[in-house]
Amino acid sequence: MYVMKENIINRAINVLDANFQKGGFTIPSKGLYPFQWKWDSGFIAVGLAHYNIDHAKKEIETLLNAQWDNGFIPHIVFHTDDDSYFPGHDFHRSDLHPLSSKKYKSTGMTQPPVTAFVLQDMLNIVDDKEDMLNFIKGQIDKVYDNHVYFYENRDPQNEGLVYIYHNWESGTDNSPVWDDIWDTMNPPEYTFERKDTTHVDASQRPSKREYDHYLYIIDIAKQNNYDDAKIAELSPFLVQDPLFNAMLIKSNKALMELYELFGGNEDKIAYLRKNQERSIAAFNQKLWDNELGAYVHYDMRNDKPIRHVSSSSFSPLFAGIPSKERAEVLVNTMMDRFGGDDKYLCASFDPTDNRFNPRKYWRGPVWINMNWMLYRGLKEYGYKEIAARVQNDSIELVERDGFFEYFDCRKDTGEEIRKGYGGDNFSWTAALIIDLLKG
Ligand code: 9WN
């Protein structure tokens, strides 16, 4: 066991080192994703903190350097002019927003706010606490400003829940949850050259028609210079996502705890506390589906819940959102639908739903970042055995199938040689496996 563990950790370190760039950030996967992504950076920094603290700090610093003047942090920072990814900076045109960074080209959309809880994790991981505290002191206000941005600009009805306006903001790009929204839209047929399918088999990626929807939503945002109020008024995609809001809540808590360590900052702590209470209450009230026994997404544009269970439904465990009683219902739902003996935990989408696809990206495969959050959440609520299963399943999949982006949740795929899916040598898979093995 010990040798095996060391061996995976060394392989994971090799993946991360090879993906680290001169500019001080880590690409998610060579060829497929050649820039810096927001939530990837956070997960990657957790892994880096175990063996290369300088790189871990750089990762966070580089991302936060690209913050806009209104506190917004973009989902992709285009550090280089690499044209092997579509859509690139020339399509996104972050310069349209008056407060966007003048120094860095980026997208005009964001991704789940993981940075604050990542900073807290980094502090917990390293031995030299003083050094890390000094680093965090220099970065924390930027992360706080990002949270203020969300509450002031992404919550038009002042509910305590923030919206996302694009499926790429969710991080769970082609989840079947969005199919309900695509049904309400009829975007034009765009002409463009896909780059992703030159790296990954098309059967594991979103369809061309799905990309038409993705591009169309960006076009609407661009026509309005990425103005948040206009987007809230006009975007056909406007969703309160349980995963995104759970990350915000988890990160609010980390920010408050870190500020408390430093002393002072009473105003900031009070602002976070007020919003935290509202957010948790609204989350439990609006996003809980009693019949399904799970948290679900809410479609603000069409004013209705999107009633499907996905791995996002379980992320509130990581943020301490459900009561003990509700957590039990949620875990039972997960075990009933996702937890059969013939499956690895945890599929990204409900295997009992007819939209489930075990090979296609966010429509069913297991993702290590979701498992990492699930493992921590289950442990926190006292589900030690199920947590251990999530941990072991993750390690087994990576050990056998490789450091891939996502994995088949079926123990028997019908194929002789199993392999992971999507990008190979994928950074957050490597980073979080290190953390899962150490923790
Ligand atoms: C669009 C980088 C990103 C992840 C997302 C994942 C995938 C991008 C894409 O790759 O999305 O952001 O081009 O498909 O879905 O979660 O951050 O790893």
Phi, psi of 124 (to 5 degrees): -65, -30
321-359 pLDDT, tens digit per residue, is 999 999 999 999 999 999 999 999 999 999 999 999 999
Of all protein residues, whose CA lies closest to atom 6 belonging to ligand 1? Answer: 171
Q: Residue 346, preceding bond cis, omega within 30 degrees?
A: yes
DSSP string, 410-433: BS--S-SS---BSSSS-HHHHHHH
Mutation to probe ligand 1, out of 168, 193, 244, 427 (largest number of atoms < 8 A from CB): 168
Q: Is 145 a catalytic residue?
A: no
Q: Is 173 a catalytic residue?
A: yes
Please state whether the predicted TM-score (pTM) of the whole model is above 0.85.
Answer: yes
- Å from CA of 162 to ligand 1 middle: 21
CA distance 173 to 42: 18
Residue 277 per-residue DSSP state: H
- Å from CA of 3 to ligand 1 middle: 33
For residue 6, the model assigns a pLDDT of 84
Active-site hit among 40, 145, 405, 408: 405
CB-based contact 146:71 (threshold 8 Å): yes
The pLDDT of residue 1 is above 70: no
Q: Kindly report the CA angle at 132 between 44 and 438, in degrees rounded to 5?
A: 50
The pLDDT of residue 170 is above 90: yes
Residue 290 per-residue DSSP state: T
**Mean pLDDT, residues 260-275:** 97
For residue 321, the model assigns a pLDDT of 99
- Å from CA of 402 to ligand 1 middle: 19
Segments in 49-166 forming alpha helices (H): 53-65, 89-92, 115-125, 129-153
For residue 4, the model assigns a pLDDT of 77
pLDDT band, very low/low/confident/very high, at 2 (cuts 50, 70, 90): low
